[in-house]
Amino acid sequence: MIVYIEKKAKNYQVAKAIIKKFNPKIIEINHYKDIFNRSHQDYNYQKSQNRLILAVKESSFLYKGSFFCDNRGYKNFYYSTQILGCVYNCEYCYIGGMYPCGYPVIFVNEDDFLNEASKLKNSFIAISYESDLLAFEGIYPFHKKWINLAKKNSDLLIESRTKSANTKLLPPNPPKNFLLTFSLSPIEINRFEKKAPNLIKRIEAIKVAINKGYNIEIAIDPIIKIDNFKKVYKAFIEALKKENILNLPIQIGSFRMNKDFLKKLKKVHLSEIVYYPYQIKNNQARYKDEKEIIEYI
């Protein structure tokens, strides 16, 4: 493993714990953007490399949530960017069109994010918005303090959305206002979800989380329109029925993306998903028959 680390990040607990655990080759840098924001980077090559960037975020620890996402009925909807980028490389993910670099950035000053969140009232906070936070749980226990924050602030709903199978690493008995949302896809879609656990492993992870007392939801989102779409998703839903997890709350949404992110994503993935002839309206790329797709599911 190679770790690029800002000089000012070296003395934070998160940085010390990661370095102690992995004993990586360390390259000191002045600012994470010196690596992360360079032009002409090979995103897919970087995804194949075992490298991290450790940095200190100096401001803007929470952002207002996007209208692309469900605010769960909360007027106050925020998201945290404690990590930029993901260990996975899903071909339909907007992150590939958002960031020029395939190396994840971990901001080590976690208490600044938590302190900002603790000031909020009656709010929904998504902590796994531009990453998959649970996928990094084997690197550092990021969820522990967020779960404790939820325990202390019952008027906050804190959600971690994931494809990860790392639920065995989570602490038991979280409060009900801490939510784990699992993105599930048919096995036929897993080929577009590079490096992510397959459907079987995600279902196993859900069962582990349920036994630990977690509040669980399922997200069939994004729905991807592939050949034999109806047959594929019918079999997928029948499989979920057999696993007895369709009694959980379910979110449903079809593929949609900012058109500029999609344009950039075409430079990253030669994929049938990104080159599909979407309808572009109000700067959004969506299926023309989105309503029918969602109604079918």
Helix axes 110-118, 143-152, angle to 10 degrees: 20
Give the pLDDT of residue 63. 92
Distance CA(14)–CA(32), nearest Å, equals: 16
Residue in the block written with tokens 């075992």: 50
- Predicted TM-score (pTM) of the model is 0.93
- Asked if residue 11 has pLDDT above 80, the reply is yes
- Asked if residue 294 has pLDDT above 80, the reply is yes
Give the pLDDT of residue 272. 95
Distance CA(159)–CA(76), nearest Å, equals: 14
Helices and strands, number each (H, E), in the chain: 10, 17
Averaged confidence pLDDT in the chain: 95
Distance CA(25)–CA(28), nearest Å, equals: 10
Give the pLDDT of residue 68. 61
Q: DSSP class of residue 75?
A: S
Q: 176-219: per-residue pLDDT in tens?
A: 999 999 999 999 999 999 999 999 999 999 999 999 999 999 99
Q: ∠ CA(258), CA(164), CA(140), 5° rounding?
A: 105
Q: 121-148: per-residue pLDDT in tens?
A: 999 999 998 899 999 999 999 999 999 9
Give the pLDDT of residue 130. 86
Q: 54-110: per-residue pLDDT in tens?
A: 999 999 999 987 666 667 777 889 999 999 999 999 999 999 989 999 999 999 999
> DSSP assignment of 188-246, as one string?
GGGGGEETS--HHHHHHHHHHHHHTT-EEEEEEEEE---TTHHHHHHHHHHHHHHTT-T
Distance CA(280)–CA(39), nearest Å, equals: 27
Rg of the chain over Cα atoms, rounded to whole angstroms, equals 19
Residue type, 181: T
- Asked if residue 42 has pLDDT above 70, the reply is yes
Residue of 106, 96, 88, 143 whose CA lies nearest to 22: 106
**Residue-wise over 172-184: b if at least 16 C-beta within 10 A, else e?**
eebbebbbbbbbb
Taking the C-alpha atoms of 78, 67, 261 and 291 in order, what is their torsion angle to the nearest 10 degrees?
Answer: 140
Q: 229-287: per-residue pLDDT in tens?
A: 999 999 999 999 999 999 999 999 999 999 999 999 999 999 999 999 999 999 999 99
Give the pLDDT of residue 64. 86
